[in-house]
Structure 1
């Protein structure tokens, strides 16, 4: 079965074709980072308009790459939520309109399920069950994953997500948007231990997270240095921030593995591309004798491939999951634990 995936939940437009027999056939992605950079963050109205401009050309690009006509598409999967309402509506309308035109069934996909399943696109995919750390600009959650649609929430952030803390702290250091990659690069030039930043909830007896206090600590350091902060000071702050957030994430992952008794850890979401986090997790995995899995770097951020793949997996288990009902709705807020099993 060939499934077309459409992703438009925020500031990336992603289109992909996935074949349940041959795997990923083609994918294309447009990022809106350059457009939103001057505003210091995503402007929802601009994001929605840009999705409208990009989706059809990306679809044509993917079809050309795959060498397939539109008639070869068997089903269409699109991101139904969570995300920006206007952006989601663009993807949903395009998917359902195309489904109507081609007389193909459509299927709404949970954005976070796409991220959770994206490591299965790698050359060495994990087997179920596993513990998953989902870390992005809007979400930080630890999940037990027993199969498609079988997700148990183990812990989540009580305030800022990890990616949000990266972006906000980067902005405090004058690094612009998006801040996550910039602060990680700057941290490579910093000296460890120069600034003592907190590790929020590191020793709590649960698997929840909190990162707003860490961001506030960065703000305090920057304010104290505001008159004479130099580039090396910025690098030292960045290093201390990254070390703090990585320490918390690694510690919570180890606790989750111990509590569940599982030996497989999956990292998903944009922050999963962070080099310092990967190095720390790889070292912990070697020491504690568990295996850690990551998506390919190109699939860490939002993309159409993960939506097409999630749709293909659901349809492989239940061919009736997709419907020829082209009246659509989106779910800007959609807790993952409300998602039904296949």
Structure 2
């Protein structure tokens, strides 16, 4: 059987990435040009700046991916690209480039859902992984519990009703003076704090849902900080960070374990930037052992936005006969499972 080589492009937010992926699991190259230093001074991602930076570097990033893989454009079988969800301007840069490339070399174009890409990062890390399994997708813009029934078939079991987990991390980090990006900084500071020092709330819905809500937790932290400032109380930032993180992680872990029991599966795959969080990983492993559930993580480089995960997802779309034409457009609010 012929190997399928996918040239993948990812520009949904502030990383410009290109990769060459073979058969959905083998990564020949995965080049990422990060804009984090540029956006840090603004305290978050500025969409217009992100789009301009993508335009400046995308050609060089794609060429570097080909060079590292020691391939030419004529060796490629298809071009995969993220078309949503994400920042519309950023998405359009990658999409227009991918469409032009696919047209110029006469190869199929494959539109990939960014969230599906995060899930498929686990197929790169775990070569023998097959559905069914449950996936917890947690990043700066997304928080989902997904049941993967088969390749390319997803059922959303739970999702955030307000802030994404990573978004809550960024807002709390800013409030306690850590800056952007918040997730890694809170994770690091938490190791110096007492996670039981402050009792922050955990949102529990009473309508048989496994959805999340992190806005109340975020507000509770801000209220705690404001009250301490008004009363002259000394704030232990490490305790605040650790207590906030424990409250958030507890909800994520409780809900995803419940999903496994409901769907009668014994594997949880983690995806997205927050999947690198040390407390989330340790808590999931502990609870997984308790309930006989195997916990799977991608390597840290596959947790952040990258084109290798898009190449993996594109492969499974390709073998299922799902390609796109040149009318493919950006869908900034694309839902998982939509096509």
1:82 aligns to what?
A: 85
C-alpha separation between the residues in 2 aligned to 1:293 and 1:138? 21
1:138 equivalenced with 2:141 (yes/no): yes
1:330 aligns to what?
A: 330
Which residue, 301, 306, 323 being the options, matches 1:303? 306
Q: Secondary structure at the match of 2:180?
A: coil
Q: Secondary structure at the match of 2:236?
A: helix
C-alpha separation between the residues in 1 aligned to 2:128 and 2:297? 9
Measured after TM superposition, the shift of residue 156 of structure 1 is 1.0
Contact 1:10/1:87, CA 8 A, preserved across alignment: yes
Contact 1:96/1:327, CA 8 A, preserved across alignment: no
1:162 aligns to what?
A: 165
1:34 aligns to what?
A: 37
C-alpha separation between the residues in 1 aligned to 2:50 and 2:227? 36
1:179 aligns to what?
A: 182
Runs of 4+ in 1 over 3 A off after TM superposition: 202-205, 227-230
Contact 2:24/2:313, CA 8 A, preserved across alignment: no
Measured after TM superposition, the shift of residue 38 of structure 1 is 1.0
Measured after TM superposition, the shift of residue 129 of structure 1 is 0.2
Measured after TM superposition, the shift of residue 19 of structure 1 is 1.4
Which residue, 251, 258, 266 being the options, matches 1:248? 251
Q: Secondary structure at the match of 1:14?
A: strand
C-alpha separation between the residues in 1 aligned to 2:327 and 2:107? 14
What TM-score, normalized to structure 1?
0.94
Root-mean-square deviation over aligned CA pairs = 1.7
Measured after TM superposition, the shift of residue 69 of structure 1 is 1.3
2:76 aligns to what?
A: 73
C-alpha separation between the residues in 1 aligned to 2:70 and 2:172? 45
- Would you say how many aligned residue pairs link Structure 1 and Structure 2? 335
C-alpha separation between the residues in 1 aligned to 2:81 and 2:233? 46
Contact 2:25/2:124, CA 8 A, preserved across alignment: no
Which residue, 60, 63, 68 being the options, matches 1:60? 63
Measured after TM superposition, the shift of residue 259 of structure 1 is 1.0
C-alpha separation between the residues in 1 aligned to 2:249 and 2:144? 14
C-alpha separation between the residues in 2 aligned to 1:337 and 1:111? 11
Measured after TM superposition, the shift of residue 220 of structure 1 is 1.0
C-alpha separation between the residues in 1 aligned to 2:91 and 2:253? 32
Which residue, 80, 92, 95 being the options, matches 1:92? 95
Unaligned residue ranges in structure 2 (runs of 5+): none
Identify if the C-alpha distance between structure 1 residues 291 and 191 changes in structure 2 by more than 3 Å, giving closer, same or farther: same
Measured after TM superposition, the shift of residue 20 of structure 1 is 1.5
2:12 aligns to what?
A: 9
C-alpha separation between the residues in 2 aligned to 1:211 and 1:83? 20
Which residue, 153, 156, 162 being the options, matches 1:150? 153
1:218 aligns to what?
A: 221
What TM-score, normalized to structure 2?
0.95
1:115 equivalenced with 2:118 (yes/no): yes
1:128-151 Cα offsets, whole Å, 9 max, x none, are: 101111111111111110122211
C-alpha separation between the residues in 2 aligned to 1:68 and 1:338? 33
Q: Secondary structure at the match of 1:336?
A: coil
Q: Secondary structure at the match of 1:4?
A: strand
Contact 2:17/2:31, CA 8 A, preserved across alignment: yes
C-alpha separation between the residues in 2 aligned to 1:145 and 1:229? 48
Contact 1:109/1:307, CA 8 A, preserved across alignment: yes
Identify if the C-alpha distance between structure 1 residues 233 and 203 changes in structure 2 by more than 3 Å, giving closer, same or farther: farther
1:46 aligns to what?
A: 49
Q: Secondary structure at the match of 1:143?
A: strand
Identify if the C-alpha distance between structure 1 residues 301 and 229 changes in structure 2 by more than 3 Å, giving closer, same or farther: farther
Unaligned residue ranges in structure 1 (runs of 5+): none
C-alpha separation between the residues in 1 aligned to 2:238 and 2:248? 15
